[in-house]
């Protein structure tokens, strides 16, 4: 690993922050005076790289509640390497608590990140996050400013425990809730489970959305090696945070900006990583959006193409058996990526090494059951398939490795729900005649219609079928699904129903055919009949009359292009705030 202190220090006058502190004139004098007010001597900061430590800590976010302390370790590293750390609190996106969905606020945190880094005297940034959307949000914002940056993943929480069972957050919550509904456990067991599902600060310890995205960040090359699996409460997490603080100072001296790291090759490798991990379908949307901010065009077809070249090698829940701590001790992402070195771009730089090849040198798998060898994969192809057809002209995705194999080719009659509340209220109504063969359809849950594409995609199995032992059915929606969910759920149908996509035209009783091997999703209704129905369709009324929700609804793009805001994802110049 390159030692930041051995790198040639940059001419202080070439630092961005020099405009704030080092120039002659009233403004610089005022900024220096205000830094004395903060309690710093001139020799503590003048001429040093200013490192913004962006912290998504909050009392309400159990996945990030340790980041208040962890920022101190980052600052320790920054000071050691001769930088000047300044912590900035930014929005917290709690997957658990924020309604209707933190996806509504991913782009807000991306905007906040971008504008803070641009408008303050910042030379480089360390980004602390990890709960689902916070990873893409922070990286989207930082990529748009294009400063040197290092991402510090919040780290997975400890494994869950209940009686003699090891529990995975999310995944086992759904499982035991279904057991409760099926009458297999009672309130006393549920109360015990409350204590055991999430035992420490940190992100979900399954290969859910959080672990998928932090692994993607590491694969992109914006974290320290191995950072994405270090348990949140392990002392190693402090050490990784301090190392990240030391590293960013060297990156500023070398002016190694995110644009040098976040290349097309890096995004292709992140896609391969996510697919070989059997990771969350949410990564499809986030990586496309992140790539867009790096001026890299990444499409659904890239995911489907790369999926056919990589096997699933991570035996992690929800698709497999183990949890993130097991993955960490099995060697973590460096050992995992070393298994994929034939499909990766090894000559690209990372924040820690001149090349990914160097970064992976010597990485070893210590547990072949957790990180499988190529000769014994969990699945021969990557975990996500992209579907096309008259029901999803712009694509849809399915995590087929988390589905019952017998449903991957299925034809059945649709039962359609116009919105989530109606679905919740009526799903158990016997008069709907839902059987195990029914295809459940939910609409108006997409980027505009949700709004924010809530994780409604794992539609519940009706009680009477659960009691008969049915645990999976074909389900189709324009929503997303939690990374810890499972089942034959077709997601991200684009265009969404709310803007008049064909999903808006489906009627209860229509026959739908899913064929994952053929990558096809078809509504067995004639084009003429669909055109007739389209003539009768009118757009639903806007949900937000004012405020951020109205801005969101106006600007949000569809799932296949990453759900960024149109005005944020387009290319173009932004003036330097100090010009004037």
Using CB under 5 A, which of the segments 3-11, 115-123, 125-133, 500-508 binds Mg ion? Answer: 125-133
Among 2, 19, 96, 295, the residue binding ligand FES under the rule CB under 6 A is 96
Q: Is residue 209 near Mg ion by the rule CB under 5 A?
A: yes
Query: Could you tell me the CA-to-CA distances from 109 to 56, 133, 158, 292, 326 in Å, in that order?
Result: 9, 9, 27, 16, 31
Sign of CA dihedral 318, 321, 327, 331: negative
- Which is nearest to 486 in space by CA: 326, 280, 215, 277? 280
Written as one string, the DSSP assignment of 6-38 is GSPPPPGGGSTTHHHHTSSSHHHHHHHHHHHHT
User: Least distance (Å) from ligand FES to the CB of residue 489?
Assistant: 18
**By C-beta, is 134 or 247 nearer to Mg ion?**
134
Between residues 15 and 110, which has the closer beta carbon with respect to ligand FES? 110
Taking CB under 6 A as the rule, which mask of x and - marks residues 5-44 in contact with ligand FES? ----------------------------------------
Task: Determine the Cα angle at 447 with ends 487 and 511, to 5°.
Answer: 50
Q: Determine if 172 is a binding residue for ligand FES (CB under 6 A).
A: no
Judged by CB under 6 A, which of 15, 210, 224, 312 binds ligand FES? Answer: 210
- Kind of pairing between the strands at 439-442 and 409-417: parallel
Contacted by 482, from Mg ion, ligand FES, none: CB < 5 to 8 Å by type: Mg ion
Q: Which does 203 bind (CB under 5 to 8 A by kind): Mg ion, ligand FES, none?
A: ligand FES
Q: Which residue is nearest to Mg ion (CB)?
A: 482
Contact 483, 170 (CB under 8 A): yes
Question: Which CB sits closer to ligand FES, 175 or 353?
Answer: 175
Residue whose CB is less far from Mg ion, 211 or 339: 211
Binding of ligand FES by 199 (CB under 6 A)? no
Residue with tokens 């079928």: 465
Q: Is 566 helix (H, G, I), strand (E, B) or coil?
A: helix
Among 103, 126, 127, 131, binds ligand FES (CB under 6 A): 131
Residue among 88, 92, 96, 109 nearest 552 (CA)? 109
Residues near ligand FES (CB under 6 A), total? 9
- Options 87, 112, 132, 172; binder of ligand FES; rule CB under 6 A: 132
Query: Nearer to ligand FES by C-beta: 240 or 476?
Result: 240
CA distance 311 to 379: 6
Minimum CB separation of residue 208 from Mg ion in Å reads: 5
Over 114-129, what HEC string results? HHHHHHCCCCEEEEEE
- Would you give the binding string for ligand FES spanning residues 40-69, x where CB under 6 A is met? -----------------------x------
Distances (CA, A) of 526 to 389, 510, 532: 13, 11, 10
Q: Are 162 and 192 spatial neighbours (Cβ–Cβ below 8 Å)?
A: yes
Residue number with CB closer to ligand FES (40 or 162): 162
Which regions of 21-91 does DSSP assign to beta strands (E)? Answer: 50-55, 84-89
Q: Which does 131 bind (CB under 5 to 8 A by kind): Mg ion, ligand FES, none?
A: ligand FES
Residue appearing with tokens 């782009």? 107
Core vs surface per residue 49-85: b (16+ CB within 10 A) or e: bbbbbbbbbbeebbbbbbbeebbbbbbbbbbebbbbb
User: What does the per-residue mask of binding to Mg ion show for 426-465, with x meaning CB under 5 A?
Assistant: ----------------------------------------
Question: Which does residue 126 bind out of Mg ion, ligand FES, none, counting CB within 5 to 8 angstroms by kind?
Answer: none
Quick one: which of 168, 152, 143, 169 has its CA closest to 214?
152
Q: Which stretch binds ligand FES (CB under 6 A): 17-25, 103-111, 203-211, 366-374?
A: 203-211
d(CA 492, CA 478): 5
Write out the residues near ligand FES by the rule CB under 6 A.
63, 95-96, 131-132, 203-204, 208, 210
Write out the residues near Mg ion by the rule CB under 5 A.
95, 132, 209, 482
């Amino acid at each position: 690993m390159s030692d930041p202190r051995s790198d040639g220090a940059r001419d202080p006058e070439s630092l961005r922050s020099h405009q704030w502190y080092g120039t002659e004139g009233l403004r610089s004098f005022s900024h220096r005076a205000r830094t004395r007010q903060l309690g710093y001597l001139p020799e503590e900061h003048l001429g040093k790289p200013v490192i913004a430590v962006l912290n998504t800590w909050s009392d309400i976010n159990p996945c990030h509640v340790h980041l208040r302390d962890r920022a101190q370790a980052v600052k320790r590293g920054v000071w050691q390497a001769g930088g000047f750390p300044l912590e900035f609190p930014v929005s917290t996106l709690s997957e658990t608590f924020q309604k209707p969905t933190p996806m509504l606020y991913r782009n807000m945190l991306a905007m906040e990140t971008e504008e803070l880094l641009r408008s303050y005297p910042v030379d480089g940034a360390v980004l602390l996050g990890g709960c689902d959307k916070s990873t893409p949000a922070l990286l989207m914002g930082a990529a748009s400013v294009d400063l040197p940056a290092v991402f510090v993943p919040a780290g997975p929480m400890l494994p869950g425990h209940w009686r003699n069972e090891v529990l995975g957050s999310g995944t086992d919550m759904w499982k035991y809730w279904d057991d409760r509904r099926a009458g297999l456990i009672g309130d006393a067991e549920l109360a015990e489970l409350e204590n055991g599902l999430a035992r420490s600060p940190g992100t979900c310890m399954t290969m859910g959305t959080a672990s998928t995205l932090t692994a993607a960040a590491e694969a992109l090359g914006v974290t320290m090696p191995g950072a994405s699996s270090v348990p949140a409460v392990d002392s190693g997490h402090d050490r990784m945070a301090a190392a990240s603080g030391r590293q960013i100072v060297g990156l500023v001296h070398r002016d190694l900006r995110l644009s040098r790291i976040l290349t097309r090759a890096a995004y292709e490798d992140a896609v391969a990583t996510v697919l070989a991990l059997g990771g969350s379908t949410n990564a499809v949307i986030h990586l496309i959006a992140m790539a867009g901010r790096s001026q890299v065009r990444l499409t659904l077809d890239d995911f489907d193409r790369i999926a056919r070249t990589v096997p699933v090698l991570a035996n992690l829940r929800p698709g497999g058996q183990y949890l993130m701590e097991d993955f960490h001790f099995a060697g973590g992402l460096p050992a995992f990526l070393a298994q994929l070195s034939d499909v990766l771009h090894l000559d690209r730089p990372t924040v820690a090494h001149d090349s990914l090849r160097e970064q992976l040198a010597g990485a070893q798998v210590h547990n072949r059951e957790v990180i499988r060898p190529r000769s014994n994969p969990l699945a021969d192809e990557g975990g996500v398939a992209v579907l096309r057809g008259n029901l999803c002209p712009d694509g849809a995705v399915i995590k087929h490795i988390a589905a019952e194999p017998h449903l991957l080719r299925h034809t059945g009659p649709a039962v359609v729900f116009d919105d989530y509340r109606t679905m919740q209220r009526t799903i158990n109504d016997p008069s709907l005649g839902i059987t195990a063969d029914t295809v459940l359809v939910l609409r108006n849950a997409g980027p505009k219609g949700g709004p924010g594409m809530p994780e409604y995609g794992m539609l519940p199995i009706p009680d009477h079928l659960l009691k008969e032992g049915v645990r999976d059915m074909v389900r189709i929606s324009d929503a997303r699904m939690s990374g810890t969910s499972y089942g034959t759920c077709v997601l991200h149908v684009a265009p969404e129903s709310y803007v008049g996509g064909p999903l808006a035209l489906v009627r209860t009783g229509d026959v739908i055919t899913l064929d994952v091997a053929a990558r096809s999703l078809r509504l067995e209704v004639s084009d003429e009949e669909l055109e007739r129905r389209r003539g009768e369709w009118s757009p639903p009324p806007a949900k937000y009359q004012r405020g951020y929700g109205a801005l969101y609804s106006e600007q949000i793009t569809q799932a296949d292009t990453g759900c960024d805001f149109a005005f944020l994802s387009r290319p173009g110049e932004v003036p330097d705030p100090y010009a004037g």
